[in-house]
Amino acid sequence: MNITEYFRSNNVDAESIELIVTIPTYKRPQQLKLTLQSLVNQTIDKKFAVIVMDNHEGAEGAQSAKSFMTSADLNGADLNGADLNGIVILAHDRGNCHAYNAGWKTALLEFKNFRYLAVIDDDEVADPRWLEELVNTAEIFGTDLVGGPQIQQFKAEAHNVWKRHPVFLPHYERTEPVPILYSSGNVLISRHVLEHMPSPHLDPMFNFIGGGDSDFYSRCKREGFTFAWCNSAQVLEDVPSQRATFKWVNARSLRNGSISSIIDTKRSRNRLKTLAKSLVLLGISPFRSAISAIKNRSIVIGLYHVQVAIGRLLAEIGVINEQYRNPENK
């Protein structure tokens, strides 16, 4: 794994760190500072450290993180960035999964006593009680992984239909144990999960299509690890204008179907079985879409089931949209 340490804050006391927060970043230097500031504002009384993984050769994110951690000023505002314990690394192998793997490997090597590792994306801002709520939920339910909602923040001009579309909505609505998680943009993982699961944790085959997190959770479930959802552990995520369009939502829906097919094939190791499932889902998808369209009073929302089914079938013939190939457009 090709990793270079770019910066380490002076106040990193590895032995006393109980929590790690990892942040993969790619060409979002200003948004990253807002993410880091939301971590400064956390109310949790446990000591935590931040690991920023920059996956772009220009290292804009690494420079931004270093600037934040060594300065208390952004546009004249006092950010107390120097209060963060942190390490900034360069993950030189391009790809979403490589960035995550670099951060998780660094956490295991550098911090011998942490109990939990959390993940937040570089376009998200955490609620002040985010970490506290995730940890409390893990300990209350005794689960190994805990997810939380990514609350989408749309531009004022965004049509209301996108705010209700499945690609933008959290998978669960209540704090409770759940069968599985799907997203890594807001998650807490127990250390023993990372120690048990083989490295690399996220399969690089998902680097540019996404879904490495869903595949990881699927493998964790097969190993007997348990999951919970914490509805109060919220992060706010900006939705760029280009995402609130039919073109982007259609691409994401097709991609979701492709990922589902790929994970099914990996799990069953039976291509014909996955193909049969994809054909069945395609056959019933018009009926599911019609019911959804009527229920939601939206043809666009109703189309989701058909789009996912088509995406599954496209994956069977090797046609997959690599939305993460150009992350600035994802």
Cross-strand bridge partners of residue 146: 188, 228
Same-domain status, 149 and 267: no
Pick from 203-212, 219-228, 264-273: least confident: 264-273
Question: Looking at residues 231-247, what average pLDDT do you find?
Answer: 94
Question: Looking at residues 132-139, what average pLDDT do you find?
Answer: 98
Same-domain status, 176 and 279: no
Q: Provide, rounded to the nearest whole percent, the portion of the chain with pLDDT above 70.
A: 95
Same-domain status, 111 and 211: yes
What pLDDT band is residue 327 in, cutting at 50, 70 and 90?
A: low
Which range is most confident: 149-163, 176-190, 270-284? 176-190
Same-domain status, 275 and 130: no
Cross-strand bridge partners of residue 71: none
Name the domain boundary from 240, 267, 284: 240
SS (H, E, C) the chain: CCEEEEEECCCCCHHHCCEEEEEEECCCHHHHHHHHHHHHCCCCCCCEEEEEEECCCCCHHHHHHHHHHHCCEECCEECCHHHCEEEEEEECCCCHHHHHHHHHHHHHHHCCCCCEEEEECCCEEECCCHHHHHHHHHHHHCCCEEECCEEEECCCCCCHHHHCCHHHCCCCCCCEEECCCCCCCEEEEEHHHHHHCCCCCCCHHHCCCCCHHHHHHHHHHHCCCCEEECCCCCEEEECCHHHCCHHHHHHHHHHHHHHHHHHHHHHHCCHHHHHHHHHHHHHHHHHHHHHHHHHHCCHHHHCHHHHHHHHHHHHHCCCCCCCCCCHHHC
d(CA 236, CA 239): 10
Please give the pLDDT value at position 25. Answer: 97
Parent domain of 202: 3-240
Name the domain boundary from 186, 215, 240: 240
Same-domain status, 211 and 252: no
Same-domain status, 219 and 306: no
Same-domain status, 190 and 270: no
What pLDDT band is residue 157 in, cutting at 50, 70 and 90?
A: confident
Residue 297 backbone zone (phi > 0: left; psi -120 to 50: alpha; other: beta): left
- In order of 10, 17, 203, 219, the CA distances from 264 in angstroms are 46, 38, 14, 11
Mean pLDDT, the chain, integer: 92
Pick from 10-19, 129-138, 194-203, 307-316: least confident: 10-19
First CA to last CA distance, the chain: 25
Same-domain status, 251 and 154: no
- CATH at residue 223: 3.90.550.10
Question: Looking at residues 197-201, what average pLDDT do you find?
Answer: 96
Question: Looking at residues 4-15, what average pLDDT do you find?
Answer: 90
Same-domain status, 51 and 153: yes
- In order of 26, 162, 180, 223, the CA distances from 200 in angstroms are 20, 35, 20, 16
Same-domain status, 189 and 283: no
Q: How many structural domains are present in the chain?
A: 2
Same-domain status, 34 and 143: yes
Residue 136 pLDDT > 60, yes or no? yes
d(CA 50, CA 194): 17
Please give the pLDDT value at position 330. Answer: 54
Residue 72 pLDDT > 50, yes or no? no
Please give the pLDDT value at position 125. Answer: 97
Same-domain status, 235 and 261: no
Which pTM does this prediction carry? 0.92
CB atoms within 10 A of CB 205: 14
